[in-house]
Structure 1
Amino acid sequence: MEAKKILKDLVAINTIADKDNNRIMDYIDSFLSNLGFEIERKKNAETGKEVLIGKYGENPAIGFLGHTDTVDITDGWTTDPHELTEKDGVLYGLGACDMKGGIAAFLSAISETDLSKLQKGLAVYCTYDEEIMFGGVKDLVDAGTKFPPHVIVAEPTDLIPMIGSKGLIEYIFTFKGVTTHSSTPIDGKSSNKNAVKFLNRMMDFEQELRKTPSPFFRVPYPTMNIGIIEGGTSINKVPDKTTVYLDFRICDSEREYPLIRKAVDDAIEGLDGTYEIINDIASFRNNSELVHVYEEKTGKKGQPFFGITEASFFEGDRVILGPGPMTAHEANEHITVESLDKTAEIYSDMIQMLCGK
């Protein structure tokens, strides 16, 4: 089936914050079942949202992964966000770029393939809640899902092969103190002052981290961001609780993660503080021979992805590749017909290359 027709169907399903999660999974289930796929759907007991796993044949050699949720509608749309609109070779619609276009492309590629002639199997993974908490891919990983040797994550990349991304560690720190009037402070018992001392130590550490560059990344060194600081209720009261949110974007998890953990433990010592790690996502870089294949097919050099995608949650050979331009989360979100069709063509080529021999 033509990718544009599939995309039209997908855009018409409202999956803002996974609103119609079951409906879009029903659509993909029916589509793949009609092609002979075996379908497994896993429902999260707490949220009621589903992930879908589709498999054709034995021992899949390639997998396609896509999230079905979208962000909310922003101001400034000039077309109906839930109706795919084509103007001058451009397709407008909520999720057309991020990332129903990629899903439409791989469903189209699969439907145009003579599956009976494949020597190896293939798999499809459709998830939910990528935009906020990565709940769907976490469900797959927690269930012990075994991914194929090669996986294409169909995020929008404007047909640039994205072959890696930085890792992420997110911390919440809590510092305790003793509340008194500001005229009678107890030495060492201001939670705000303890937090500031800690942050000064960590900013010194950040400069040390930067001394080992990683030219592969656009920002070629690890970074630390102080996202939120909450502490105190009045200008004349010594605060008794301060919360600090930090994130680290890491170039090489194997080398940098132990350094960060030690720096945190050393910096917090003696400051009446505790911490919780709320996200711990490893960095990755694909150095396989398939990178050159994608570069040849797209005419574009492989690059690291600028943020975190579902590719960061499982191991193995994976590439992030999808249509463009990259207009995710924008008013009048769109991709071009040419890019959509080219994406489907590359996906078809990879199925034949990895499964047809």
Structure 2
Amino acid sequence: MKKKNPSFLEMYSKLINVSSISSENPVFDQSNKKIIELLAEWLENIGFKINIQKIQKNKKKFNLIAKIGSGEGGLLLSGHSDTVNYNEKLWKSNPFELTIVNNKFYGLGAVDMKGFFACILDLMTKIEIKKIKKPIYLLVTADEETSMLGVKFFLKFSTISPDLIIVGEPTNLVPIVGHKGNITKKIITLGNSGHSSDSEKINSINLMHETIFYLLKIKKKIKDFVFQKKFKVPYSTMNFGYIKGGHSSNTICEFCELHIDIRLLPKFPYKIFNEIFNEYLLPIKKKWGGYIKIHNLHPPIPSYEISIKHEKIIKTIEKITKEKKTVVNYCSEASYLHKIAPTILLGPGSIKQAHQPNEFLELSYVKKTKKIIKKIIEFICFL
């Protein structure tokens, strides 16, 4: 006899209780094993067949692929198990306790994207399994917030070809059919340590200042390169997100580090960006040589745009959600998943709450999410 799953609220609470931070900094990076095991147990109780992938590149990280039903095609519901890091001082409540205030669920990952999993699991206990004519899959990935390692590992070995993929990112339950790509780079400038009175020595902060001058030229170039009016920010962007260097005012800085984030429109080829980036930085590289080092923080994430040939299924999702399709500035695993099936981002809550202190999901989204996903399941898997 199968074990009965906890209630929606209990499952949601337990998911929030489990910390599953992924970070480029190994000090903060964590395994997602516990959250994968929790989801696997609950899905198995419902009747799903479970496959847990151990990602060899990082033995602490796992994917979960669950399946119920048989046959070809079907629906793949997808999401990531990891969250970003947090600053406890900025939280009004414990990030790892589900707190309900004014009809809002607070907790780290509440909207991005543990709330989606809680909704799906609760919904699946109410689905009439006997009516399923095509399979329902649930994919839970690792490291979406950093390297996209999990989804890339999944695709390396996947043999499934669903009719539709829904990625449950927080979209206010509006269907998202395109987004920008992402490139993150680390720029390091080196100098000669010494006393501040020695003006002959190279100061890495001065060198970074000179480098930023050229980066700002690149920023303007990519902004003016191409426009797509359907995006809220209709051009490609560059953001200076992190800088660190130096020890004291009376010491010449020997090391400075800058992290930049680039968001390219779908119509901006990565190859062209690379050519612009290298061309504009060539003068300073020639001048300073080994004093400047540039690395990708993680492999570039491609932009995504659903093919026009899937217009029929998009229209159906618009009808179900009662919302018009749109595009967004952030990126997601749709960049990779669309290679095996038409992919739409659609999930509860607002992206404005993601990666923020006091992250929350509004209670009103729970019922709506289950209702919409149920209709999509019926459309794809019951017919």
Corresponding residue of 1:124: 138
**TM-score, with length taken from structure 1:** 0.82
> In 1, Cα distance between the equivalents of 2:110 and 2:370?
14
Corresponding residue of 1:114: 128
> In 1, Cα distance between the equivalents of 2:296 and 2:134?
40
User: Does structure 1 residue 262 correspond to structure 2 residue 264?
Assistant: no
Q: CA deviation at 1:259?
A: 2.6
Corresponding residue of 2:379: 353
Secondary structure of the 1:16 match is coil
Paired residues for 1:88-107 under 5 Å? 91=105, 95-107=109-121
> In 1, Cα distance between the equivalents of 2:38 and 2:252?
58
Deviations 1:326-353 (A, max 9, x none): 64444372322x4212211211211222
User: Does structure 1 residue 11 correspond to structure 2 residue 13?
Assistant: yes
Q: CA deviation at 1:207?
A: 1.6
Secondary structure of the 1:168 match is strand
Corresponding residue of 2:72: 59
User: Does structure 1 residue 222 correspond to structure 2 residue 225?
Assistant: no
> In 2, Cα distance between the equivalents of 1:349 and 1:131?
29
RMSD: 3.4
> In 2, Cα distance between the equivalents of 1:35 and 1:233?
57
> In 2, Cα distance between the equivalents of 1:348 and 1:278?
39
Q: CA deviation at 1:123?
A: 1.0
Secondary structure of the 1:282 match is coil
> In 2, Cα distance between the equivalents of 1:224 and 1:88?
37
> In 2, Cα distance between the equivalents of 1:201 and 1:37?
54
User: Does structure 1 residue 197 correspond to structure 2 residue 223?
Assistant: no
Corresponding residue of 2:316: 293
Larger mean Cα displacement after TM superposition, 113-122 or 98-107: 113-122
Paired residue type of 1:37? F
Larger mean Cα displacement after TM superposition, 60-69 or 321-330: 321-330
Number of paired residues? 350
Rate the CA distance shift 1:33–1:201 in 2: closer, same or farther, 3 A: same
Corresponding residue of 2:24: none
Rate the CA distance shift 1:173–1:126 in 2: closer, same or farther, 3 A: same
User: Does structure 1 residue 333 correspond to structure 2 residue 363?
Assistant: no
Kept in 1: contact 2:71–2:133 (CA 8 A): no
User: Does structure 1 residue 37 correspond to structure 2 residue 23?
Assistant: no
> In 2, Cα distance between the equivalents of 1:232 and 1:353?
59
Corresponding residue of 2:302: 282
Paired residues for 1:227-246 under 5 Å? 227-232=241-246, 239-246=253-260
Q: CA deviation at 1:40?
A: 0.5
More helix as a share of residues = 2
Rate the CA distance shift 1:313–1:7 in 2: closer, same or farther, 3 A: farther
Rate the CA distance shift 1:147–1:185 in 2: closer, same or farther, 3 A: farther
User: Deviating runs (4+, > 6 A) in structure 1?
Assistant: none
Secondary structure of the 1:159 match is coil
Q: What runs of 5+ residues in structure 2 fail to find an aligned partner?
A: 22-29
Corresponding residue of 2:187: 173
Deviations 1:92-145 (A, max 9, x none): 555443322211222334333333333322211113444455454344345557
> In 2, Cα distance between the equivalents of 1:88 and 1:226?
36
Larger mean Cα displacement after TM superposition, 231-240 or 126-135: 231-240
Deviations 1:170-216 (A, max 9, x none): 11223345567765537xx6544443333222312322222221212
Identity of aligned residues (%): 26
**TM-score, with length taken from structure 2:** 0.77
Kept in 2: contact 1:105–1:347 (CA 8 A): no
Deviations 1:23-47 (A, max 9, x none): 4333322333244322110234545
User: Does structure 1 residue 304 correspond to structure 2 residue 332?
Assistant: no
Rate the CA distance shift 1:335–1:136 in 2: closer, same or farther, 3 A: farther
Larger mean Cα displacement after TM superposition, 57-66 or 326-335: 326-335
Corresponding residue of 1:342: 368
> In 2, Cα distance between the equivalents of 1:227 and 1:145?
39
> In 2, Cα distance between the equivalents of 1:323 and 1:60?
25
Larger mean Cα displacement after TM superposition, 55-64 or 10-19: 10-19
Secondary structure of the 2:7 match is helix
